[in-house]
Amino acid sequence: MSTGEYSYLKDLNPAQHEGVINVKGPTMIIAGAGSGKTRVLTTRIAYLMDQHNVDPFNILSLTFTNKASKEMRDRIEKLIGPEARNIWMGTFHAVFARILRTEATHIGYTTNFTIYDTEDSKSLIKAIVKGLNLDDKLYKANVVYNRISGAKNRLVSWKEYNENPIYKDDDEINGRPEMGRIYRIYSQRCFKADAMDFDDLLFNTNVLFQEHLAVLNKYQQRFHYVMIDEFQDTNISQYMIAKKLGAVRQNICVVGDDAQSIYAFRGADIQNILNFERDYPDLQLIKLEQNYRSTKNIVQAANSLIDKNTAQLKKDVWTKNESGEPIELIKSASDNEEGKLVASSIFETKMQNRALNAHFAILYRTNSQSRAIEEALRRINIQYRVIGGVSFYQRREIKDLIAYIRFIINPKDETSLRRIINLPKRGIGPGTVEKLFIAAEEQGADIWDILCHAQELLGGRAANQIEEFVDLIKNFKIAIKNKDGYESASIIAKNSGLLKELYDDKTVEGLNRFENVQELLNAIKEFVDDQDREDKSLASFLQDVALLTDEDRNKNHEDTITLMTIHMAKGLEFPYVYIVGIEEELFPSQMMLSSRADLEEERRLFYVAITRAEKKLHLSYALNRYRYGRLKNCEPSRFLQEIDPNLIHVNRKFVSETAVPSSNPQYARNFIKQNSNIAARKAKKVPDHKPSADFKPSDVSDLGSGMKVEHPKFGFGKVIDVEINGTSKKANIDFDVHGQKTLLLSFAKLRIIQM
């Protein structure tokens, strides 16, 4: 097995070398982005076996993904041979399921216990809720499952849950006083069925080691060395198991980066890594600070950002790589234009650098942001793939609403009917649906005609439910007559019950689906607001969508641009990275502004996004973004101001000149003034107006032609006329210095000087 001079150590830098050879006692390796942590971990294991003659059966290596585990095992095998296959290496769940298969009888299970997946668990929860005659809209399976999962990850059993007044009060406040009862029955039913869910694999391992010390001692003696990758992502349950296993020999090595802790919503506890030294005062602390991935500009930008976090383990990430190109800022008037500018920038970069599509990644905070990007890429025929979900128009909730629209427009559309006839649930089962289609075929009739005569065919309760569905469709046809596409779609989304069902689901998944439907409505609103379109009907929009969603070009096409949320991008790297939607209340998310801890997690998320880039990084924000059917005025994210302005460049080609001013012009101007490139360009233009000392926006509901006004940026002017289009009002104003401007009165800040 010996390699003599251990050639695999020669190419390590000093910090990496230290992380490999110091194998005794507790060790924490803080691994900055792109610093080669996987190489250190795999070489450390090979070194243990090669130099210290450690039996691979005595090594426990825990990872978070099967992919990471396989990659590490393959690397070790290349270094020291097939003995690497005997290492106890895998994900937390896989390794501890293996232990439980041997030891489960100690805690009342058989060794052949069943493992429930998420859907199995939710099905059981639904059955319990139904059996208790509880409201399944209030006790949604997702909500209950996530509540139980969170408790188990904090090592709170159903007994402790029901005895804790804090949980009881919290459930009552949220209108779910029976949550503890469901948790109890769920746990008892799982146990009776000899089944463990995904969280039980960790929870029950803790129970096993806590209640059966002989079993714990057996594995403490087996595992001489315990190593944990991505330690910043561990929850309490995972850390407690590892701590117990490493308690005898103290040869526990954790590798991670607190700056990349971004999974608190999954139960990850950053305190595990921040307080590791408290648990092991005599630990060796090794910092991998040399970045091999990115240019100096990208590394320095990431450092200047993450330095603003107070809760962190300080490190100085650096690189020997070239300085590279400056970070490029893209500023657009709207999210729709943002998509176009990003697509245009990618096209230009591809041409200049002969880059492949696979060299590019577009990252965003929420899945709903992909829509505008996808449409822009398709229009210029650039192939792409969406990671972490299907393409925007292929998402379930989007297809549901589109199916309603399609069927209302064309009641012969059988595919859409099958999708919506019992959505939301209205008591029309699949057997009834099949009877309807059989009748239509036998009588040579359209399915809509059959639906309208359901009483004659079926009778009873099923016919009554179908009659209600038919009335709903007829009412929609009347309600949307003579209305534009957006008004029509909004009516359908609200009155079909789809929007309410998604709104009532307060899980992360439910909120994402609700936002996705809102984004579809935004797309229709943009379609309607496009002055170049004559036909603003839903039928016209559907035709556009049908052309956009033709995915034949994408099949089996490997050279594609990658679109994904930043959470999905962790661990990946690309030569060219675009981070879009960097605006207040979007990134950082509005839901993450209530505490410093939440805000710092958002900053770490941005840090992760920046450090995915190797050669060139683009940052993009829009001054206006459609949300909930309205054009919302946006501000550039505070995170943009936290990056060293000397590292940022604005390419004039990718800055919109038609952008509506921010609702906080001074905020935007302060950001721009920090950047010398922007400042130089601004100097060539007419200077912004300095508002009067007594400037205060007036009520413009009665604004009319001939009135004199003051704008905080454009100065003094005279109203030419006011246009009213539906619920929106625009004012055409002739400003003394800046000339004529058309402003949306819902956003413009005007002081009326003279009536």
Residues designated as active site: 37-38, 229-230, 260, 612
Answer whether 735's CB lies under 8 Å from 712's CB.
no
* DSSP string covering 537-591: SHHHHHHHHHHHT--GGGTT--S-EEEEEHHHHTT--EEEEEE---BTBBTTBGG
Phi, psi of 524 (to 5 degrees): -70, -35
Token couple for 753: 């000087």
Whether a cis peptide bond, with omega within 30° of 0, leads into 588 is yes
Strands (E), 369-463: 384-386
Distance (Å, rounded) from C-alpha 289 to C-alpha 316? 6
Answer whether 351's CB lies under 8 Å from 551's CB.
no
Answer whether 610's CB lies under 8 Å from 617's CB.
yes
Token couple for 319: 């690189």
Q: Which amino acid is at 170?
A: D
For residue 715, is it left (φ>0), alpha (ψ between -120 and 50) or beta? left
What lies within 8 Å, CB to CB, of 446 at 6+ separation is: 411, 412, 440
What burial class does residue 554 get, using C-beta atoms within 10 Å of its C-beta: 0-12 exposed, 13-18 middle, 19+ buried?
middle
Strands 728-735 and 739-744: antiparallel
* DSSP string covering 53-104: ---GGGEEEEES-HHHHHHHHHHHHHHH-GGGGGSEEEEHHHHHHHHHHHHG
Place of tokens 């050879």: 21
Task: Please name the helix (run of DSSP H) or strand (run of DSSP E) that holds residue 625, with its range, or none.
Answer: strand 624-627
Distance (Å, rounded) from C-alpha 68 to C-alpha 72? 6
What lies within 8 Å, CB to CB, of 489 at 6+ separation is: 401, 405, 520, 521, 524, 538, 541
Distance (Å, rounded) from C-alpha 238 to C-alpha 241? 5
Strands 225-228 and 252-256: parallel
| Nearest alpha-carbon partner for 420 in 505, 498, 491 | 498
Phi, psi of 637 (to 5 degrees): -60, 145
What burial class does residue 621 get, using C-beta atoms within 10 Å of its C-beta: 0-12 exposed, 13-18 middle, 19+ buried?
buried
Distance (Å, rounded) from C-alpha 350 to C-alpha 359? 9
Whether a cis peptide bond, with omega within 30° of 0, leads into 424 is yes
What burial class does residue 629 get, using C-beta atoms within 10 Å of its C-beta: 0-12 exposed, 13-18 middle, 19+ buried?
middle
* Beta bridge partner(s), residue 636: 583
Phi, psi of 413 (to 5 degrees): -75, 95
Token couple for 687: 């200077």
Distance (Å, rounded) from C-alpha 136 to C-alpha 116? 21
What lies within 8 Å, CB to CB, of 744 at 6+ separation is: 631, 660, 728, 729, 730
* Distance (Å) of CA 411 to CA 101, 169, 422: 55, 49, 16
Token couple for 289: 């600070």
